[in-house]
């Protein structure tokens, strides 16, 4: 677990640094991102590249602690990470690319433990991708007008006034795929107990709240709703944690 925490922090940071390097010219033309370290000049591209290499090295040394299958799977993720920053230049679905990149850990955890992939991690990955597209669409509404001026494409611009309907589909798929992933792990000692499924119900209510209160014209509210997805993540995590404790305390 400790290795995954260290590795995920390092590689997420590396991905963000790489993204900021690629997008620094665009960020300089968007009001909200103009104050970021690179476009503002507080950090030079060379300094950012050194920082990127340091983060990547930490991630690499964590990765090689796992089995060969997990190592190869981790290396494969680099192609997705490398492509993501360029997607906003030629597709309306850059959030989908972000979902593919950010959700890779759902595959890595299973691969590191079992040395293979199965239906459960793939379903968990699919749910995580749908979730990411949903919450990052909300986030992208902050920059919708500036993005239109500089030619940046996004699902926020694509969905527009239909964003609520899109979120119903995306968040619905998230809950469906997560539930199917739980079922795919089996029952009894091998699968989640009732707290995991209860967490999906509570988490689903939180998602309904997001959709209900969404105002795509209010950037501050969009940022607040985007950040609220950490609560959904904690709900699901705690549901799985208590599920494990329940299974240990009351074995089938």
Query: What's the predicted TM-score (pTM) here?
Result: 0.92
Which of 69-78, 105-114, 240-249 has the weakest average pLDDT? Answer: 240-249
Rg value, the chain, Cα: 19
Helix 45-63 to helix 2-22 angle (10° resolution) is 150
> Could you tell me how far CA 16 lies from the centroid of its own chain?
12
Domain spans, the chain: 1-65, 92-249
Q: What is the pLDDT of residue 192?
A: 81
% of the chain with per-residue pLDDT over 90: 78
Q: Say whether 186 sits in a helix, a strand or coil.
A: coil
The 10s digit of each residue's pLDDT in 98-134 is 999 999 999 999 999 999 999 999 999 999 999 999 9
What is the arithmetic mean of pLDDT over 21-26? Answer: 90
Q: What is the band of 147 on the pLDDT scale with cuts at 50, 70, 90?
A: confident
Distance CA 229, CA 243 (A): 21
Average pLDDT, the chain: 93
pLDDT for the residue numbered 189:
59
Q: Tell me which of 91 and 193 has the higher pLDDT.
A: 91
Q: Is pLDDT of 239 > 80?
A: yes
User: pLDDT at position 95, please?
Assistant: 98
CA angle 52, 56, 60 (to 5 degrees): 175
How far, in Å, CA of 42 to CA of 29, rounded?
16
Cβ atoms of 27 and 33 closer than 8 Å: yes
Most confident of 78-82, 211-215, 248-252: 211-215
Q: Which two tokens stand for residue 20?
A: 């900021």
User: Can you give the pLDDT at residue 113?
Assistant: 92
Over residues 32-71, the pLDDT tens digits come to 888 899 989 899 999 999 999 999 999 999 999 999 999 9
Predicted confidence (pLDDT) per residue in 179-215, tens digit: 999 999 876 656 788 999 999 999 999 999 999 999 9
**pLDDT value of residue 247:** 86
The structure tokens 């030079």 sit at 44
- Check whether 252 has a pLDDT greater than 90: no
Q: How far is CA 27 from CA 17, 32, 33, 151, 215, in A?
A: 13, 8, 5, 12, 24
> Cβ distance 182 to 192 under 8 Å?
yes
> Which of 68-77, 188-197, 224-233 is least confident?
188-197
């Amino acid at each position: 677990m400790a290795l995954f925490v260290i590795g995920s922090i390092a590689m997420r940071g590396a991905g963000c640094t790489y993204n900021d390097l690629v997008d620094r010219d665009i960020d300089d033309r968007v009001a909200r991102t103009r104050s970021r370290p690179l476009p503002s000049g507080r950090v030079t591209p060379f300094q950012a590249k050194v920082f990127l290499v340091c983060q990547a090295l930490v991630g690499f040394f964590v990765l090689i602690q796992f089995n060969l299958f997990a190592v190869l799977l981790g290396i494969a993720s680099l192609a997705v990470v490398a492509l993501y920053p360029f997607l906003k230049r030629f597709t309306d679905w850059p959030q989908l690319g972000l979902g593919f990149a950010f959700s890779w850990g759902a595959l890595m955890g299973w691969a590191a433990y079992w040395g293979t992939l199965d239906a459960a991690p793939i379903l968990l990955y699919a749910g995580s991708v749908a979730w990411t597209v949903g919450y990052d669409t909300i986030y992208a509404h902050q920059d919708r007008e500036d993005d239109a001026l500089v030619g940046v494409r996004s699902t926020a611009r694509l969905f527009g006034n239909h964003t609520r309907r899109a979120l119903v589909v995306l968040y619905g798929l998230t809950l469906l795929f997560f539930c199917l992933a739980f079922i795919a792990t089996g029952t009894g000692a091998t699968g989640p107990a009732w707290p995991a499924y209860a967490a999906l119900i509570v988490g689903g209510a939180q998602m309904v709240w997001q959709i209900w209160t969404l105002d795509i014209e209010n950037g501050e509210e969009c940022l607040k709703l985007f950040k609220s997805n950490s609560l959904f993540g904690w709900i699901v995590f705690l549901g799985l944690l208590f599920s494990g404790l329940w299974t240990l305390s009351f074995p089938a």
